Chains A and B, each alone.
Chain A
Amino acid sequence: MAQPLPRTETTPDAALIAAWQTGDEQAAAELVRRHARALARFLTGAGAPESELDDLVQETFIRAFRSVDRFRGQCQFRTWLMTIGGNVLKDFGRRMKRRAVIPLDEMVRDVTGDPHELAEASETEARLAAGLKALPRLQREVFLLRAQQGLEYEEIAAALATTPGAARVHYHHAVRRLKETVK
């Protein structure tokens, strides 16, 4: 068993990844604590139903930890996780197609605040969520990585193995289509 890596909140992801590669489970658990919520927000935006969110997050981390040898720091670990999450969600969608369609009301998000603003915000988010579901997967993921996660095109491109220019085009196509469908 590897010696656990002494860690703080500022321990770089790269050090935690290296520690996990030597068998330090606590390092892997720290990576889950650090990135699970951001990953969950991305998955929810991409269409994951809340009832399945925990399992999809778990599955994403499991796939990531098992293939971490292929992560070469081309982008942030969190961004890389989200690309894996996109594939986990795609596989989940295939399984669901054989059973039932995910109801739209599962996509309505909770927010806090004034009841009127709450209703309006929830409706806006529900419409955006429905619009996102209608986008091609690449456009949807680029839009979420840019608009929701606030990533630069260079980072998105590195994670998706494309160019910053192509990522920018996917984003603008997504926005244009959303403007058409989300009134």
Chain B
Amino acid sequence: MNEDAMIAAAKRLGTGPTERLDVEATARKVMERLREQPADRFEWIHVQWVRIAAAVAIGSSDLDELVGGTGTTLPEGSSDLRELDEQQLRRVLHSLEG
């Protein structure tokens, strides 16, 4: 399969399931779940865990800076350093340098 055929096939992926998705119902259920489920800190903990793991990996001790950092250096929700490529890891390490 050449690249053009791959791109064409990729554009078709999910067409049927997506057309069958009831977007209005999805929107309604999202809003209901947001009301019913209290916001937890699970996602926040994930991000902080990655920061701490990165700190341990490079021997940093300034955890306050890491946990309090606000720079957007990670793909949203990333929780596993092993999934990051070299450029992403460099950005994490750069952010730790302040």
Contact = CB atoms under 8 A, between A and B. Distances in A.
Interface of A: 25, 28-29, 32-33, 36-37, 40-45, 50, 53-54, 57-58, 61-63, 65-67, 70-72, 74, 80, 83-84, 86-88, 109-111, 121, 124-125, 127-129, 137-138, 143-144, 147-148, 159-163, 165-166, 170, 175, 178-179, 182-183
Interface of B: 1-3, 5-7, 9-31, 33-34, 37, 39, 43-44, 72-79, 83, 85-88, 91
B39 to A, nearest CB: 5
Given A33-B24, A54-B26, A170-B85, A161 B13 contact: no
A183 B5 CA distance: 11
Given A36-B23, A66-B43, A162-B85, A87 B79 contact: yes
Nearest to A183: B1
Contact of B13 (A37, A57, A128): A128
Contact of A57 (B1, B21, B24, B86): B21
B26 A148 contact: no
Contact of B78 (A28, A42, A87, A165): A87
